[in-house]
Every structure is written in structure tokens, then in C-alpha cells.
Chain A
Amino acid sequence: MPFVRRIGHHKKGLYDMTSSQPGNRSERAKSRSPLLRVLGSIDHALGIVERVIIAGGVLAMAALMSGHVVGNLLFSQGIPGTYEVTEMLIVVITFVGVGYAARNARHISMSAIYDQLSGRWRKALLILICLGTAVLMFYFAYKSIGYVAVIQERGRSSASLHIPLWLVYLALPVGFILAGAQYLLTAVRNLVSDDIYRAFNQKEEYDELPPEADEHDDARRDT
């Protein structure tokens, strides 16, 4: 039996990001609380902005770095500022990504004990985790606002293109606030609903059975 057919095409990236969205929409429609509905719309809009920044950042990095290499090889002239812009992109992707990963419940954690719990205890622990993490995120947001203000006032800029660095460092408060809000929202949602939500828009679920060989493709990759 030819193997190629079976492993077929992979529709999604390494982890799937976008697939939770359609589910979310129906999720939002179902929820009756007006508070959750308003929060949901704001949340949705912010999610789009985050996606554009993160994906744009990665694409820009790839284009800039490979353009730099090509320039060096063909014209003995790289793109000035490649190094510092790349470093700035890393900062932006990382901190905006902190918010985005919180939205998708993708922050790395060690869930062995959590997995052993069920029912009310499980939910209580999840709420504790969300609230504790939210507090930390808001604290870092507060601290980084102070840092950005100082850098702005003192006018630090990059060495090659003289880009004001406070603009780049804005990614910290933005990302931390977004992440803090996500954790807070998740806690709220768990408090007001019966199910367990790993993120504001994501109900918790594991596959009950190992997937069958023939249908492992897309369904399994949705998370």
C-alpha cells in the first residue's frame, strides 16, 4: 500500500492556530451573558491584531534576513540595520505572542497534577492558576510601562537606523496587558459557566481514544 496517500496533506502548521476560531464563533453566539458577548467582540478584534503582528513579524524577519544574505553575496552589500531590526522583531513577536499564546492556552506548563484532578477541584485549581498568572502579567505590565517611559524620556535609539527604542519596547506592556486580560477572562468564564475553559474561548478536551489511522489528519490537529 503506498504510504504517501495515507499521510496525505497537512492542512495546518506545527500547531494549529486558526482552527479554534470557527468554534469560537458559535461559542460566542451561544453565550447568553451580555458582558461575555461584549468582551467577546473586543477579544475577537484584538485577536486579529495580534495575529497580524505576529505573522507579519515572522515574515518580515525571514524576508529581511534572507535579503541581507542575498545582498551580501551578490552585491557585497547587506541591508544596513538587519541585525538590530531582527532583534527588535524578536522582542515584538515574543511579547505580543505572550498575549496571543494566553488566548490559545498555549503557554507551557507542567500539568501532571492538574490532569489527575477532576470536577470542582480541577476547576478551582485552574481558576487559581489563571488569577495568579493574571496578577503577575499585570505587575509586569506596570513595571514595563515605567521602563518604556524612561527609555522614551531619555531618547535611547538604535545604533544603525536610529529607531527610537521605546516604540519597540511598547510591545511589553501591550503583550502583558493582553495576556493578563486573557487569564482574567478565563477565570471569569470558568466562574460563570459549568464547563472548564483552558482559555476564554477554549473548552478543555482531550481525545478519548487514539485516532484511527485513516482519519488522523485534520481533526486531530485541531486543538
Chain B
Amino acid sequence: ETWRFGLEETEGSVQYGYAEEFKKLIEEKSDGDITVELLPYGSWGSNYSALYDAIQNGAIPLGFGSGFLGGTVPESQLMSLNFVMPNDQLETAEILNSDDFLKSDAWQESFRERGLVPLATLPEGYQVWTANKEIRTPEDMENLQIRVMDNSLLRATYEAYGASPITIAYGELYSALQQGQAEGNIQPVFAHENMGFYEVQDYMIFADQSQFIANFIGNEEWYDGLSDEQREMLESTLDEMVQKGHDIQSQFNSERLETIKENSDINIIHLDESEREAFRELAKPVRQTYVDMVGERGQKALDIVLKHVEQSGDKAE
């Protein structure tokens, strides 16, 4: 039996590292009965919707869906809300992979209504801002033409900070940053490195406002057709993968950050707690925007996350 696993990223990425480890575990546990075939970006197409279609129609039963999944599963945009998750990245991974959240009716139904099942959540590291000036306060971000995807929630978020978000196609982004059409950019560290965006930006700002989070999803029919044994094996593997995923992500991003530091003299800034507080206050109303956009299930899923965050004692509110 072959389990095909579609990735939004190419070889040598966080998703690929995760998938390799997943493949190893499944193939070991099944004694070779199951082969996991990895299909990185490009092998299923180049437009993410083609991957989501393939997962929905069952051609590729397993796959990742991150920022672009919002059109297919609107509730999944919970992952791009700012200042909701705890500061600790591992803790975030644990909350988002807890049965309480992942197996909640709200989250399960959101995906199952679209022929999908949420299997796990993979935080891939902080979304980091870059710009050609220091950004420590919302005032610094005032009218900044920061690049966001053509996505209403992201635009609402950065408008809440006072920025003037601008939409640029990913393929044109390097040029746009270089020529100054876009004045800032938001990407996980590995993307800044991989695409060379840091070469044309002066400041890298860690506000720890949100992570780049991928949903590990399965085809609903495929998942429901698994034997009990297979499903248990899958569950136990996914449990193991929470810590492993975190390790892969942290190592990967710190290596990439090192590369950036070596190859450039970009200024790296970490906002302190009081600086983050100013942005946090501005981001809070956007939660309602999210709920208005996706409905009640989104509210419930958000509440579960917030409840856990509160219990963990970390300050998110």
C-alpha cells in the first residue's frame, strides 16, 4: 500500500524534513506494508489549489495546507491570526496538536465539510517582518507598504497596525523589494533566506506575532477507510511527530538565520514584551474579523486555543 504525501514546499524544507521523518516512522511501524511517497512542490503542480484538489479528490490522500488553505477551509485562517498563540513555540505546537483542539467538533467539522480531515498541525517558525527601517512601534509601521498575500484577513491585520499593505505576486516579490515598490515583507525565516529577500532589506524584526503554520490534512474518505490498526499507527506516529516537528523547525530556522547573518549585515531586532504589547492590543479586534468571516465554528476553535493559552499561563491576552 502506498500513502502519497503532497508537500507545499520543495526538498530541503521544514515540511520535507517532517515528511521524511513521518515516512520513516510509518514504514518502520507497518513493517514495510505501507510505503510513503513524498511529492514535494512542483511534482503535483505549482499552484497550491491543485494540491488541495488532489487531496480532496483522493489522488494524493495526505498533504499540507498552510496560508493558502483559507479559500478551501476558511476556518483554517485561525492560524494566521496575530498574538493568539503562546510565545513558546513548542507550547504552541502542543496546543494545536492536543485532542482538545484537533479532535474538537468545530475543527473536525470545518475540514470534514470539505472532504478533508485535520491530522496534525505543524508550526514552521515565526513569521518575521523585514523593512528598510527599524520597526519597534505601530508608529514605525504607519503607512508602510508591507507586502501581504491577496487575503482579506491578513490585510485587516496589517491595516490594524496602521500599515498600508500591498499585494505583490510571490514571483515578483524580490524585484519589488529591490526596487522599493514594497517597503516591507512578512515571511518565515527560511523563506527570507531561500528567496534571498534579506539581500534587499535592511532590518529583520522578530515580533513573534504569529508562526507560519501548516495543517497536515488527509482525504476524508481515505482516512475513514483506514483499518483500526492503521489509524492507531497513524495517531501514535503523529503524537511522536509533535516534538520532532518542533525540533526540525527550530534547527532549520536557526541554520537559515545563521546563513542570513553570514551573508549580510542585516540588522536583527527582537521586540521586547512591552513593544509587543502595543501591537497585541491593535491585533485583538482582528479576532472578531476572523469570526465574522468564517462563522461560529471559527469562534469555537479560537476559544479552545485561547482557553489553553490561558491555562498554560503564558500571556496571550
Contacts and interface: CB of A to CB of B under 8 A. Distances in A.
A202 interface: no
A16 to B, nearest CB: 34
Contacts of A154: 56, 72, 113-115
Interface stretch (A32-40, A81-89, A129-137): A81-89
A162 B150 contact: no
A80 B150 CA distance: 7
Interface stretch (B16-24, B163-171, B208-216, B241-249): B163-171
Interface of A: prevailing SS: loop
B152 to A, nearest CB: 5
Interface residues of B, number: 23
A82 B71 CA distance: 16
A156 interface: yes
B267 interface: no
A84 B149 CA distance: 10
* Best-buried of B49, B145, B152 by chain A (most CB within 10 Å): B152
Given A76-B145, A80-B152, A159 B68 contact: yes
A80 B155 contact: yes
B151 A160 contact: yes
Interface in A71-112: 72, 76-78, 80-84
A146 to B, nearest CB: 10
A23 interface: no
A81 B57 CA distance: 28
Given A72-B145, A80-B152, A83-B167, 6 more contacts: A76-B145, A80-B167, A155-B114, A156-B72, A159-B71, A161-B152
The 3 closest A-B pairs by CB, nearest first: A83-B150, A159-B151, A76-B164
Interface of B: 49, 56-57, 68, 70-72, 74, 113-115, 143, 145, 149-152, 155, 164, 166-167, 169, 293
